[in-house]
Structure 1
Amino acid sequence: MATRRIPRPAAVAVALCAAALLAACAGASAAGCRKHVAKVTEYGAVGDGKRLNTAAFAKAVADLSERARDGGAALVVPPGKWLTGPFNLTSHFTLYLDEGAEILASQDMKDWPLIAPLPSYGRGRDEPGPRYSNFIAGSNLTDVIITGKNGTINGQGQVWWDKYHAKELQFTRGYLLELLYSNNIIISNVTFVDSPSWNLHPTYCTNVTISGVTILAPVHSPNTDGIDPDSSSHVKIEDCYIVSGDDCIAVKSGWDEYGIKFNMPSQHIIIRRLTCISPTSAMIALGSEMSGGIRDVRAEDNIAINTESAVRVKSGVGRGGFVKDIFVRGLSLHTMKWVFWMTGNYGQHPDNSSDPNAMPEVTGINYSDVFAENVTMAGRMEGIPNDPYTGICISNVTARLAPDAKKLQWNCTDVKGVTYDVTPKPCPELGAEGKPCAFPEEELIIGPHELPKCTY
């Protein structure tokens, strides 16, 4: 029998206090060294939580952008509560949040201008047409760092959630951080709280490192995904702690015909040492917007607690695209509805219609070294009729059942694959005897070997 590679039991206890540990250790790595440094107070900002500082942040970034090519610049946000509307970043730039610093998003929707929809989505994700701006944004940037001593970026999303539930929004909610067409990004040692919708959304980006980040939202808040790499390449997500009302991480690449036309896959992605709590969603989702394709995703040594499912494939007729070469190993799962879940009937489409001939290709999905306890059901594996999900490999898995577990532990349709040393016994569609599943041996190099260690 192959040696199991299962996270140490002590990791569970560590996960339960991960937020506190991240805060305590935040000083270990801080902002990159920049030649020019300024505090937001130098531009007239007041940190009383009441005065609106949008103009001060905009002026600071504009001024510091002039120093970008002369050793770069850092904007320091000192302790205090800094209320502001949305603002943009610039290249060769560090946004540094000191200990006790909290940037508060304005709750007045008049401070959130409308912007164009993403070309790979064709419209806003919630509603047709344009969308509200993102809180912190940037496009065509290079060498951007968001870091500090575990300061907080607070989206104050309750007003947005309430209006969303009441169907009072005409346009799609903005995200807490969205960077477009950018490269060489580092986000570390920062806490993101109560986003109006998705939290971190690197889109059309390359070489992105997200490390030591805490993301918090009420578990029933709508669509508060943690980290969503979207049509992005070479993304590393590590040592993060996420409590979310939706998927903790969702890898995406555009929506239906717009994503097919834009044709930019998400690829070469590392997700490791993540701790996720999301009772109604996945630890890691692949899709559902995956029409530009998703490939070479490597998830390793991740923990989920009270989460609906682990690594879930989400697609459907009309999506097109592909999900392939997915490698997952070393999962520690505690109180799960499903250990394995694949969905081939995701039905949300941007124009309430889709091309019935745009069929997704899902193949080469590998899961190994999984320990799960208090599980309701081991596997719900649903491919697409006449377009089955193939090349599934599941090995070295133990799922201990909850007292109220389903009698039927595997429900499989339109899937094909092999298993090796899996308990409970898999469904016939995955019943062929395989061997331990693959995981790439070569290292995927993304971002700096070590995070920058200068402080301000």
Structure 2
Amino acid sequence: MATGRIPRPAAVAVALCAAALLAACAGASRAGCRKHVAKITEYGAVGDGKRLNTAAFAKAVADLSERARDGGAALVVPPGKWLTGPFNLTSHFTLYLDEGAEILASQDMKDWPLIAPLPSYGRGRDEPGPRYSNFIAGSNLTDVIITGKNGTINGQGQVWWDKYHAKELQFTRGYLLELLYSDNIIISDVTFVDSPSWNLHPTYCTNVTISGVTILAPVHSPNTDGIDPDSSSHVKIEDCYIVSGDDCIAVKSGWDEYGIKFNMPSQHIVIKRLTCISPTSAMIALGSEMSGGIRDVRAEDSIAINTESAVRVKSGVGRGGFVKDIFVRGLSLHTMKWVFWMTGNYGQHPDNSSDPSAMPKVTGINYSDVFAENVTMAGRMEGIPNDPYTGICISNVTARLAPDAKKLQWNCTDVKGVTSGVTPKPCPELGAEGKPCAFPEEELVIGPPELPKCSY
């Protein structure tokens, strides 16, 4: 009598075949070349720079989300100017911008709904309360790729900057890209232009690769940070070119009591072959929002041009948290205000509830093999009274001074460390002769060994 059951040996065989099929599909998705491909024009989008395509992007992502479960899906944006409001991504998904494709963010603030503040910040960064949505966003995603043939994502931020300067904003500006609680992210070969505020903001994420990305903003645009890994782990940033009105890269982990409570550090971060231009900010900043902690950041083989400082530690009383095990080597710096800058008096608190007894711990900061020219001042190193920054190591550094350089080349307070082979001669607080500074020998493995090479 037929029961509809499969005999046990056959059932095992079917299960093995199904598992193999699922593995093959997952493998194809991980490799990044998606099984299902659609163009945004298939969903009614028009690339004339005038028609608003928000509904088309939402419909495309929703449709491809269903198909992405079977081998992944790619949404191709062809040449043209595609105006849209904010939209979300989905898992096992590639957003592919063809050569000549430009996604334009709507300049009508009515198209940007309000969303809750991040739990590790407690409020919007610009203003209390909620914040405007981010232009491209996603939460609890896995296996997401944003890539193409160097197409452009344009935040059209001027209207936001003008309102920010005029103090006409009630809520915090959105970021150009923010992914939350997500893993296995690749962003490569795309240009990001004129974000309303921060550009790329992976937050509470793991296994993030950002490679071959160009980020451009006017050097006096407000808070247009380039890449801000925030409470994220295993992040690789390589071969990026950033011109910014703020820090080119800022590693963060939450703000004062909210970041302390959330307690998620940023850690295991690799930065290689960065080129940065930022006349009023840092090449790489650690903080100032670092209340969940920052550790194991490795930066090397990078260039800064006409930039205020190289790798800067920013913290202050009430932040709590820690910055430790930071390794920097192989920097080439051209026209710098400061080569080394540490700040222990950084203000900007979310509210009046910050705990004045929450003191940050900054230790194990290593800089080596640094060449700088046209420098105004070699070092401005300011820790916190009764809470000094310790374990600082600086070795094999040459800073050639600008014609208008300061007579006092090092200003050091509440810091302790050692130096070796440093010119100009360091301050007494860092004057003890040390060995060459450490850099981990074991390489951090982050992301795929090679980026996907797919054409759609």
Aligned equivalents of 1:12 and 1:368: distance in 2? Answer: 58
* SS of 1:304 mapped into structure 2: strand
* SS of 2:8 mapped into structure 1: coil
Q: CA RMSD in A?
A: 13.1
* SS of 2:379 mapped into structure 1: strand
Using the TM superposition, name which of 13-22 and 373-382 deviates more. 13-22
* SS of 1:30 mapped into structure 2: helix
Larger RCO: Structure 1 or Structure 2 (Cα < 8 Å, ≥ 6 residues apart)? 1
* SS of 2:261 mapped into structure 1: helix
Per-residue CA deviations over 1:67-114 (Å, capped at 9, x if unaligned) read 122000000000000000000000000000000000000000000000
Q: Structure 1 residues 437, 10: closer, same or farther in 2, change over 3 A?
A: farther
C-alpha contact (below 8 Å) 1:256/1:318 kept by paired residues: yes
Aligned equivalents of 1:19 and 1:166: distance in 2? Answer: 59
Query: Which structure 2 residues correspond to residues 30-429 of structure 1 after superposition, within 5 A?
Result: 32-429=32-429
C-alpha contact (below 8 Å) 2:26/2:71 kept by paired residues: no
The Cα of 1:13 is off from its aligned counterpart by 60
Q: Structure 1 residues 38, 274: closer, same or farther in 2, change over 3 A?
A: same
C-alpha contact (below 8 Å) 1:312/1:342 kept by paired residues: yes
Per-residue CA deviations over 1:245-304 (Å, capped at 9, x if unaligned) read 000000000000000000000000000100000000000000000000000000000100
Q: Structure 1 residues 316, 13: closer, same or farther in 2, change over 3 A?
A: farther
Q: Structure 1 residues 252, 14: closer, same or farther in 2, change over 3 A?
A: farther
Per-residue CA deviations over 1:382-435 (Å, capped at 9, x if unaligned) read 000000000000000000000000000000000000000000000000000001
Aligned equivalents of 2:395 and 2:264: distance in 1? Answer: 31
Aligned equivalents of 1:437 and 1:449: distance in 2? Answer: 28
The Cα of 1:30 is off from its aligned counterpart by 14
Per-residue CA deviations over 1:203-226 (Å, capped at 9, x if unaligned) read 000000000000000000000000
* SS of 2:68 mapped into structure 1: coil
Q: Structure 1 residues 2, 219: closer, same or farther in 2, change over 3 A?
A: farther
C-alpha contact (below 8 Å) 2:28/2:72 kept by paired residues: no
* SS of 1:37 mapped into structure 2: strand
Aligned equivalents of 1:2 and 1:262: distance in 2? Answer: 57
* SS of 2:341 mapped into structure 1: strand
Aligned equivalents of 1:10 and 1:123: distance in 2? Answer: 57
* SS of 1:16 mapped into structure 2: helix
Q: Structure 1 residues 325, 246: closer, same or farther in 2, change over 3 A?
A: same
Aligned equivalents of 2:332 and 2:202: distance in 1? Answer: 27
Aligned equivalents of 1:49 and 1:121: distance in 2? Answer: 35
Using the TM superposition, name which of 351-360 and 147-156 deviates more. 351-360
C-alpha contact (below 8 Å) 1:85/1:112 kept by paired residues: yes
Q: Structure 1 residues 264, 386: closer, same or farther in 2, change over 3 A?
A: same
C-alpha contact (below 8 Å) 1:256/1:350 kept by paired residues: yes
The Cα of 1:25 is off from its aligned counterpart by 30
Aligned equivalents of 1:211 and 1:65: distance in 2? Answer: 25
Aligned equivalents of 2:140 and 2:349: distance in 1? Answer: 28
The Cα of 1:353 is off from its aligned counterpart by 4.7
Aligned equivalents of 1:400 and 1:69: distance in 2? Answer: 57
The Cα of 1:23 is off from its aligned counterpart by 35
The Cα of 1:32 is off from its aligned counterpart by 2.5
C-alpha contact (below 8 Å) 1:2/1:436 kept by paired residues: no
C-alpha contact (below 8 Å) 2:137/2:177 kept by paired residues: yes
C-alpha contact (below 8 Å) 1:81/1:103 kept by paired residues: yes
Q: Structure 1 residues 427, 313: closer, same or farther in 2, change over 3 A?
A: same
Q: Structure 1 residues 195, 31: closer, same or farther in 2, change over 3 A?
A: farther
Aligned equivalents of 1:385 and 1:2: distance in 2? Answer: 83
Q: Structure 1 residues 344, 199: closer, same or farther in 2, change over 3 A?
A: same
Larger Rg: 2
Aligned equivalents of 1:9 and 1:381: distance in 2? Answer: 71
Q: Structure 1 residues 417, 382: closer, same or farther in 2, change over 3 A?
A: same
* SS of 1:9 mapped into structure 2: helix
Q: Structure 1 residues 85, 123: closer, same or farther in 2, change over 3 A?
A: same
Using the TM superposition, name which of 345-354 and 146-155 deviates more. 345-354
C-alpha contact (below 8 Å) 1:7/1:301 kept by paired residues: no
C-alpha contact (below 8 Å) 1:269/1:297 kept by paired residues: yes
The Cα of 1:173 is off from its aligned counterpart by 0.1
Aligned equivalents of 1:178 and 1:22: distance in 2? Answer: 29
C-alpha contact (below 8 Å) 1:149/1:190 kept by paired residues: yes
Aligned equivalents of 1:397 and 1:9: distance in 2? Answer: 69
The Cα of 1:354 is off from its aligned counterpart by 1.8
C-alpha contact (below 8 Å) 1:338/1:379 kept by paired residues: yes
Q: Structure 1 residues 55, 19: closer, same or farther in 2, change over 3 A?
A: farther
The Cα of 1:149 is off from its aligned counterpart by 0.1
C-alpha contact (below 8 Å) 1:31/1:145 kept by paired residues: no
Per-residue CA deviations over 1:143-194 (Å, capped at 9, x if unaligned) read 0000000000000000000000000000000000000000000000000000
Structure 2 unaligned blocks of 5 or more: none
Using the TM superposition, name which of 348-357 and 320-329 deviates more. 348-357
* SS of 1:66 mapped into structure 2: helix
Structure 1 unaligned blocks of 5 or more: none
Per-residue CA deviations over 1:50-71 (Å, capped at 9, x if unaligned) read 0000000000000000012200
Q: Structure 1 residues 80, 255: closer, same or farther in 2, change over 3 A?
A: same
* SS of 1:356 mapped into structure 2: coil
C-alpha contact (below 8 Å) 2:308/2:336 kept by paired residues: yes
* SS of 1:201 mapped into structure 2: strand
Q: Structure 1 residues 251, 26: closer, same or farther in 2, change over 3 A?
A: farther
4+ residue runs of structure 1 moved beyond 2 angstroms?
1-32
C-alpha contact (below 8 Å) 1:6/1:369 kept by paired residues: no
Q: Structure 1 residues 324, 243: closer, same or farther in 2, change over 3 A?
A: same
Identical counterparts, % of pairs: 97
* SS of 1:412 mapped into structure 2: strand
Per-residue CA deviations over 1:119-142 (Å, capped at 9, x if unaligned) read 000000000000000000000000
